[in-house]
Amino acid sequence: MKREFFLNGNKIYSENTFFREITITISPDFKWKYGYNYAILREILEGDYGLLDCNEPCIIRWQRFKISASKMEEVLLFKLVSVFDELANVELILE
């Protein structure tokens, strides 16, 4: 059975708030020494940097996605969602 994690769309309205919410959810002890970036995000989602084991299958449910989407540019949303599409171990569900 895949582990499930939940992102709160009420708290995601920018790139920074997305990174903050995903960090709190998946890797609460991780420190972003050099700022937020997509390469590190992929590594966190692949595992071994927090609550996920290496390549552990999981489901991430972005709850209230429409609220986030209404506050963010379409290009940014596409970029964020694309990260999840690149990973075989992560299933993103937009709710």
Question: 3-40 pLDDT, tens per residue?
Answer: 999 999 999 999 999 999 998 898 888 887 778 889 88
pLDDT at 77 (0 to 100)? 95
54-83: pLDDT as tens digits: 889 999 999 999 999 999 999 999 999 999
80: domain CATH number is 3.30.370.10
pLDDT at 15 (0 to 100)? 95
- What single-letter DSSP state applies at residue 9? G
Backbone angles phi, psi at 8, to 5 degrees: -95, 105
For residues 75 and 72, give the distance between their C-alpha atoms in angstroms, rounded to a whole number: 8
Domain that holds residue 45: 3-94
**pTM here?**
0.89
The answer to whether residue 50 scores a pLDDT higher than 80 is no
How many structural domains is the chain composed of?
1
